[in-house]
Amino acid sequence: MLSGVLMLIARSRRQLAAGDALEVAARARSVRKTLHRPPDFRHKLLNREENRAMIKLHHGREGREIWVNADLIETVEATPDTVVKLTTDRRMIVTETPEELVALVVEMKRRAENRPHVISDR
């Protein structure tokens, strides 16, 4: 009985030749990497909690997406292009009209007011 088990082990080791051994090692490395990865809790955030003070704008003529803190908007100029001036003295050209910007900021403020607040006893 013991000799039969030893023969099976020897046969399985021979079958795990160079190619199979490398495949097993690669699989073991990927499992190890997955087990030691730090947890990512971002997927657990509610949609209303993500970017609660930010609004999505389209920057420049090419329309790149940028997120801007709506509390930092100081003025909006309606020249041929819409120019947004922030409290940090940074100016940026966006594709949205001033009316669209106002609607986005009002909607963001409305969502912030409707967000559930947590009151703790501590």
> 């023969």: which residue's tokens?
7
Give, for 44, the enclosing helix (H) or strand (E): none
At the top level of CATH, the class of 47-114 is: mainly beta
The number of beta carbons lying within 10 Å of the beta carbon of residue 93 is 15
- 25-73 confidence digits (pLDDT tens): 788 788 777 777 666 655 555 554 555 678 999 998 888 999 999 999 9
Residue spans of the domains in the chain: they are 2-35, 47-114
pTM to 2 decimals?
0.52
- 67-113 confidence digits (pLDDT tens): 999 999 999 999 889 999 999 999 999 999 999 999 999 988 887 77
